[in-house]
C-alpha cells in the first residue's frame, strides 16, 4: 500500500492519535492554534489507514537583525514521531519533509528544524529539499543515575541556591490562572531585554496550562518573594526526557534571591524526582560564539555536545549562497 499523507490545519479535525512525543502531539498543536501569532500544521503518515508517523510544524512572526527584519518563520522540533519500529523512518520522513516544505514555503520565509535527537537523521532528504545545516550545540543534564542532580552542580551554584532560599525565595508550581498570567508577564519583561531571545504571546502559557499541564505533559515553576513572582521556568515532558523551554528571573531587582538560578534548579530537581532520563535546555546557541545562557546552564552540571539545525529560505539566491557557505 502506498503511503498516505494527511495534513491538518485545525485542531478540531485531528483524531486521537497514538504516540508520546509532545512536540508532535495534538495537545501542542492546539496550544499553538490558540496562541496569537502561531499557525500550526500537522502531517500524519498512514499505511492501510493506520497512522505510522507524525510531523508537527508551526509558523510564527520572527524579528531578525538582517533585512527583511520581520519575517514568518516555521519551526519544527525534532524530525517527527514514528509509531512503528518496522518502518523505514528516514524514507517516510523524506515524504513528510517534501510535503511540509511545499506547504510552508508559501507563507514562511524561513523553515528551521531544531533540537534534533540524531544529527545525521534525514541528511539525504534535507539536502534533496535544499536545506542547509548549521552546526549547533545542545546542553543536557543526565538524571538517570542514583546521584542527586545537585551533586553535579558547581560549588558556587550550590551557595547561590542556599542563599536564595535563605533570603526568602519560595518555589511553587503554577496552578491558578492568576499565577500563570503573572508568570508570563514577568518572563516577557525579562525576555524583552534580550533582543535575540524569542518569547511567545503570553496567551501561550495559559493554553499550555489548559492542554499540556493538565495532561502532565508540562509544568510551570514559579519563584516567589513576598507573594510576588520574581522568576520561573516552563518545562515540557516528552517520552523519557524533560525539556526546559523558557526560564528567567528578575536578577537585578531581586539579586539576593537568585530567582533565575532557583527556576532552573526547580525544573532539574523535579525532573530527577519523577524519573526522567535527561533534562535538555532548549536553546543554547552556536558553537563558535560565546553564549551567556549556555555558560549559565553549564554550571548546573550538564554536558554540551554537537548537533545541527537545518534551514531553508524562500529566496533561492539566499538559500544557494548559504548552502555554499555551510555545506
Average pLDDT in the chain: 89
Residue 274 located in a structural domain = yes
pLDDT at 56: 98
Q: Residue 149 — very low, low, confident or very high, per pLDDT cuts 50/70/90? A: confident
The cell for 87 is 518502518
Same domain, 147 and 270: yes
Residue 327 located in a structural domain = no
Instruction: Give residue 13's Cα distance to chain centre.
Output: 25
- Is the distance from CB of 179 to CB of 229 less than 8 angstroms? yes
Q: Residue 150 — very low, low, confident or very high, per pLDDT cuts 50/70/90? A: confident
Residue 314 located in a structural domain = no
pLDDT at 105: 87
Residue where a domain terminates, one of 111, 129, 147: 129
pLDDT in tens, 215-238: 889 999 999 999 999 999 999 999
Same domain, 47 and 192: no
CA distances from 47 to 41, 83, 89, 172, 238 (A): 20, 11, 13, 45, 25
Eight-class DSSP state of 126 = H
3-state secondary structure of 171: strand
Same domain, 62 and 102: yes
Per the structure, the count of domains in the chain is 2
Element housing 32 (H / E): helix 26-34
Eight-class DSSP state of 67 = S
pLDDT at 64: 58
Residue where a domain terminates, one of 71, 106, 129: 129
Eight-class DSSP state of 226 = T
Any residues with CB less than 8 A from the CB of 132 and at least 6 apart, and which? 310, 311, 312, 319, 322, 323, 325, 326, 327
Residue 94 located in a structural domain = yes
Residue 320 located in a structural domain = no
The cell for 54 is 507524525
CA–CA dist 30, 9 (Å, integer)? 10
pTM of the entire predicted model: 0.91
CA–CA dist 235, 217 (Å, integer)? 8
pLDDT at 197: 66
**What CATH number is associated with residue 275?**
3.40.630.30
Same domain, 198 and 221: yes
Query: In a 10 Å sphere around its CB, with 0-12 CB exposed, 13-18 middle and 19+ buried, how is residue 200 labelled?
Result: buried
Element housing 184 (H / E): helix 177-192
Same domain, 114 and 179: no
| Domain coverage including residue 147 | 139-305
Instruction: Give residue 287's Cα distance to chain centre.
Output: 18
Same domain, 154 and 90: no
β-strand pairing of 70-77 with 110-114: parallel
Residue 125 located in a structural domain = yes
Residue where a domain terminates, one of 88, 111, 129: 129
Residue 310 located in a structural domain = no
Q: Residue 145 — very low, low, confident or very high, per pLDDT cuts 50/70/90? A: confident
Same domain, 176 and 241: yes
pLDDT in tens, 19-60: 999 999 999 999 999 999 899 999 999 999 999 999 999 999
Residue 134 located in a structural domain = no
Mean pLDDT over residues 154-175, rounded?
A: 92
Same domain, 155 and 279: yes
The closest alpha carbon to 57, from 97, 4, 87, belongs to 97
Residue 169, pLDDT > 70, answer yes
Residue 254, pLDDT > 50, answer yes
3-state secondary structure of 57: strand
Q: Residue 195 — very low, low, confident or very high, per pLDDT cuts 50/70/90? A: very low
Q: What are the φ/ψ torsions at residue 93 (nearest 5 degrees)?
A: -60, -40
Same domain, 59 and 124: yes
CA–CA dist 94, 97 (Å, integer)? 5
Same domain, 258 and 116: no
Same domain, 193 and 241: yes
- Is the distance from CB of 237 to CB of 216 less than 8 angstroms? yes
Same domain, 186 and 113: no
pLDDT in tens, 75-106: 999 999 999 988 999 999 999 999 999 999 88
Amino acid at each position: 500500500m502506498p503511503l498516505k499523507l494527511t495534513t491538518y490545519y485545525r485542531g478540531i479535525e485531528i483524531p486521537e492519535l497514538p504516540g508520546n512525543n509532545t512536540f508532535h502531539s495534538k495537545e501542542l498543536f492546539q496550544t499553538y492554534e490558540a496562541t496569537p501569532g502561531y499557525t500550526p500544521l500537522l502531517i500524519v503518515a498512514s499505511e492501510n489507514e493506520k497512522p505510522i508517523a507524525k510531523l508537527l510544524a508551526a509558523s510564527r512572526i520572527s524579528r531578525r537583525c538582517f533585512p527583511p527584519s520581520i519575517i514568518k518563520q516555521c519551526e519544527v522540533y525534532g524530525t517527527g514521531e514514528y509509531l512503528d519500529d518496522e518502518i523505514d523512518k528516514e524514507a517516510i520522513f523524506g515524504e513528510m519533509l517534501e510535503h511540509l516544505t511545499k506547504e510552508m514555503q508559501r507563507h514562511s520565509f524561513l523553515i528551521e528544524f531544531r533540537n534534533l535527537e540524531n544529527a545525521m537523521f534525514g541528511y539525504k532528504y534535507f539536502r534533496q529539499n535544499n536545506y542547509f545545516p548549521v552546526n549547533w550545540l545542545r546542553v543536557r543534564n543526565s538524571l538517570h543515575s542514583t546521584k542527586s542532580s545537585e551533586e553535579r552542580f558547581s560549588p558556587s551554584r550550590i551557595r547561590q541556591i542556599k542563599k536564595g532560599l535563605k533570603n526568602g525565595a519560595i518555589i511553587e508550581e503554577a496552578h491558578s490562572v492568576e499565577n500563570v498570567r503573572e508568570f508570563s508577564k514577568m518572563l516577557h519583561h525579562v525576555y524583552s531585554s534580550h533582543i535575540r531571545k524569542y518569547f511567545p504571546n503570553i496567551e501561550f502559557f495559559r493554553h499550555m496550562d489548559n492542554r499540556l499541564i493538565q495532561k502532565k505533559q508540562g509544568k510551570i515553576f514559579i519563584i516567589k518573594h513576598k507573594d510576588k513572582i520574581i522568576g520561573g521556568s516552563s518545562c515540557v515532558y516528552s517520552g523519557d526526557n524533560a525539556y526546559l523551554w523558557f526560564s528567567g528571573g528578575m536578577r537585578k531587582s531581586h539579586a539576593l534571591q537568585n530567582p533565575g538560578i532557583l527556576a532552573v534548579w526547580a525544573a532539574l530537581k523535579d525532573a530527577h524526582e519523577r524519573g526522567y532520563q535527561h533534562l535538555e535546555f532548549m536553546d543554547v546557541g552556536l558553537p563558535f560564539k560565546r553564549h551567556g545562557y549556555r555558560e549559565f546552564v553549564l554550571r548546573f552540571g550538564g554536558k554540551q555536545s554537537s548537533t545541527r539545525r537545518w534551514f531553508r529560505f524562500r529566496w533561492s539566491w539566499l538559500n544557494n549562497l548559504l548552502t555554499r557557505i555551510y555545506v
